[in-house]
Amino acid sequence: KVSTVLCLTQLALRPSSQNLMRVLSSIFQPDGPSSFSELLSSMSSLFCGYPEEDITRVLSFNWYEDNNYKAFLGINNSREHNSYTYDHSATPFCNALMQNLESNPVTKIIWSSVKPLVMGKILYSPDSPAVRKILKSANTTFEELERLQKMGMVWEEVGPQLWEFFQNSVQMNMIRDTLRNPTVMDFLDKRLKGTELSTKVILNFLHNGPNEDRFFNMTNFDWRNVFRLADQGIRLFNRYSEVRTPSRLH
């Protein structure tokens, strides 16, 4: 009995037990929680953790689980986050992205799971013709991603030229002038009768001037909107593809 009392006393004196009692006391007090928001706050502290300075600590009676949780989130015993180690093999954008991901406990958990798939190295041995044949087949996915990345980099060089061609080239201006010709417009409208297209719709899509110069009752949408959307998407893909390690097999 004495040993049981001592164990219960030691358990009650543990900081985690005292924090648990503090949370439970706010729930089971005589008058109960003063408001629904206070009840939600107490339940959140009980199941999701309670604030400890600038982090959220999880209630645990097991010191190993508690310290393992801290190590998983990169929190040392001094309650400070580990500083980010700059990766000189990666681009500045990649380092800024990884530092941002590792600075938040939630994104750090996700990033720690994804990082080996994105930046990890695949070691193999021995180096033989049979192994190389297997690796060539396994490396197909990485080669496709690298090919997409190269196409994205080519777009950054060709994109401005493509914009200039549609916006100011002699060929495109000649097409616009031809479509504006009344005879051509009447001929095409007869051919396009029964469809959702018309000469005005085509001219509106090829429009290269201000919105005030459009045909009446036409939408403010043309090839420039499509170009900007594609350009932003490709450039965003190029930036984030810098995080991927190109040579995975070693």
Task: Give pLDDT, residue 186.
Answer: 93
First to last CA, the chain: 62
Same domain, 185 and 212: yes
The C-alpha atoms of residue 225 and residue 230 are separated, in whole angstroms, by 9
Determine the Cα–Cα distance for residues 26 and 17; give it in Å rounded to an integer. 15
Domain count, the chain: 3
pLDDT higher than threshold 90 for residue 227 = yes
Residues 6+ apart with CB under 8 A from 155: 231, 234
Please give the pLDDT value at position 149: 84
Computed over every residue of the chain, the mean pLDDT equals: 73
**pLDDT in the model for residue 164:** 95
Final residue belonging to a domain, choices 61, 93, 120: 120
162 and 205, same domain (yes or no): yes
Phi, psi (5° rounding) for residue 56? -115, 125
| Same-domain check for residues 111 and 198 | no
High-pLDDT (> 70) share of the chain, %: 56
In this predicted structure, what is the pLDDT of residue 61? 46
Return the CA Rg of the chain: 32
pTM score over 0.75: no
Q: Contact at 8 Å (CB) between 234 and 152?
A: yes
- The predicted-structure confidence for 87-112, as pLDDT tens digits, reads as follows 776 777 777 777 777 777 767 777 77
What angle (nearest 5°) sits at the alpha carbon of residue 160, between those of residues 155 and 166? 110
User: Which pLDDT band, with edges at 50, 70 and 90, does 43 fall under?
Assistant: low
40 and 64 inside one domain: yes
8 A C-beta contact, residue 102 and residue 74: yes
**Could you tell me which residues are beta bridge partners of residue 75?**
81
Q: Both 50 and 31 in a single domain?
A: yes
Provide mean pLDDT across the span 123-144: 71
Q: pLDDT digit string (tens) for 147-206?
A: 888 899 899 999 999 999 999 999 999 999 999 999 999 999 999 888 888 999 999 999
Report the distance separating Cα 50 and Cα 2, nearest Å: 33
Do 6 and 99 belong to one domain?
A: no
Tell me, what's the pLDDT at 54?
46
DSSP-derived 3-state class of residue 210: coil
Specify the 3-state DSSP secondary structure of 160: helix
* Cα distances (Å, whole numbers) of residue 67 to 31, 56, 57, 75: 36, 13, 11, 9
What is the three-class DSSP state of 209? coil
Domain that holds residue 45: 2-73
Residues 157 and 138 in one domain: yes
